Chain A
Amino acid sequence: MHHLSLYLHFVKLRIRSQMAYRLSFVLDLFAQASISVIDFFMIALLFNRFKELAGWSLWEVGFLYGMIGICFAVAEMMGRGFDVFQRNVVRGEFDTMLVRPLGTFYQVFAHEFLLRRLGRIAQALAVLLIANSQLDISWSLGKVGFLLVSLVSGTCFFIGLFVIGATSCFWTVQSIEIINIFTNGGVFMGSYPFSIYRWWFRHFFTFIIPLACVNYFPSLFLLEKVASSGVPPLGVQLAPYAGFLFLGVTMLFWRWGVLRYQSTGH
């Protein structure tokens, strides 16, 4: 309870300081949304030329896009502290966190909150809602719950990726760019149905880095494509929990990394 109220207090302070330059904030929000609109516009361009992709229509792909877009943007908003962690290490701010009576994971998490990602969240949500209106999905309470759990779990997945990137800062201050493959690259590849990828690529992004569990498997269920996809139904049902598991594993990695931290300047 103490941790939650303290977290909310941190977020309140962050939001207040970001709103200090209101005009710049609003422009940024707008820029963010526009950038994402261009993103989806590209996909629409391709569908204008090709009509379908491995049996998926534009708005089915739009559903995939909306889901992963929301998860990633929320993860960027909330997990920002891990995303920019390199800066903390270089400036020695992590030392400060280590002398406070709170967990390091908690402190890094609470340290930043990037409100301007709301622009991107709004755009992704809009695509998801439009896709929904075009697709005629038969919603039930169970399906709504399934979607919500999937979104939360997908967010956890991306935060987990940021945690891996942050943990690597304990060894190299050239933060490993490789994480971008899974974050930005993950959003890009997750915007298309996984069936178009080769088996080894698909398996890697299912069992090692569970990207497919963020939106592809859940969408198969929600769009009633499980039977035609050849994916085991049980796997589809369990998919939304992969993100939680992934975050848990990265938290252990983090704990292990903190013990190997070598501060700056002796």
Chain B
Amino acid sequence: MRTLYLTFHVYLAFVTKSFQKRMQYRVANLAGLTTNFFFLLVHIFVYTAFYAARTGPLSLNLNEIITYFVLCQVFFMLMPFWGARSEVTSAIKDGSVALQLTKPVDFQAYWFSDECGRACYYLLMRGLPTFLISIIFFAVAIPTQPITVMAFAVSITLATFMSAAITITVFSFAFWTLDTTGFSGLSYSIITLFSGMLVPIALWPEWLAHIAAWLPFGGLIDIPFSIYLGKITGMDIWIAIGKQMIWVVFFLGLGRILLKRGFSRLVIQGG
């Protein structure tokens, strides 16, 4: 029990360190906040114009759409890829990541902790201000049921874990390819598309929404936000959360295998 506690303590330290590391970038964070609002505004303008000319009812009304995109910006930085890009992948590319093998920590757990620290930072420094300012300026729906709030909290945490696990998996390919920009760019596009970040899945044609339901990426955006908006209720909440859990485990496992292969490749070839 004690060793378990100590182990946890070590990784918690990584989370804190990752958080602190990001505190240095003052200008970048302000710029990021501004960017959030810019994209939020454009989305709202676009959807307001689209809704003005709509015919027939839709599964999301304009208020819900606005809330949806506010949430998108609040949790934007929790989505995959926004942190690991530079440091870890360049360490993989130049082979210096091999040094990690000499440390008595699990590399995936270390990386995962780092990603979680990043998520905490952005939630607090970017997400929270975005949310508070948005409440003032836009008609943001706030959930009233305690169960909704709780379920959302669990779901968005799982989304964060899934995002970290996906990031690790995708960037592990840096062990095999020299240049990951093309690959990661394409993965990013596909992931954001099927997460529902660009256009809510509720507005998609049925056939495509069907495909999305079978893919894991809805767990990043679509599931938590639908819970928030009260579109998923009752037993369905637990089914959705269960689905997220399964995908988190899946990506952690996949990432683990890739990293293991990657490291053994590195050791054999000497970088």
Contact = CB atoms under 8 A, between A and B. Distances in A.
Direct A/B contact, Cβ within 8 angstroms: yes
Interface of A: 21, 24, 27-28, 30-32, 34-35, 38-39, 41-42, 45-46, 48-54, 116, 172, 174, 176-178, 180-181, 185, 188-189, 192, 196-198, 201
B53 A52 contact: yes
Interface stretch (B41-49, B148-156, B235-243, B252-260): B41-49
A28 B34 contact: no
B182 A27 contact: yes
Given A45-B199, A46-B203, A177-B28, A31 B185 contact: yes
Contact of B182 (A32, A42, A46, A48): A32
Interface string B19-41: 00000010110011011001101
Contacts of A39: 189
A21 B181 CA distance: 14
Given A24-B177, A31-B185, A49-B58, A189 B53 contact: no
Contact of B48 (A49, A188, A196): A196
A35 B192 CA distance: 11
A172 B35 contact: no
A48 B205 CA distance: 8
B190 interface: yes
Contact of B31 (A49, A178, A192): A178
Nearest to A172: B27
Interface residues of B, number: 40
A46 B50 contact: yes
B45 A198 contact: yes
Contacts of A54: 49, 52-53
A34 B183 CA distance: 11
B62 interface: no
A192 B42 CA distance: 9
B178 A21 contact: yes
A35 B186 contact: yes
B190 to A, nearest CB: 7
A185 B39 contact: yes
Given A35-B188, A46-B50, A189-B42, 17 more contacts: A21-B178, A24-B182, A27-B182, A31-B183, A35-B186, A46-B199, A50-B53, A51-B55, A54-B49, A116-B182, A174-B27, A174-B28, A180-B35, A188-B39, A192-B49, A196-B49, A198-B45
Interface in B197-211: 198-199, 203-205, 208
A177 B35 contact: yes
Please give me the 9 A-B residue pairs with the lowest Cβ-Cβ distance, nearest first: A31-B182, A28-B182, A196-B49, A177-B31, A178-B31, A31-B186, A50-B50, A35-B189, A38-B189
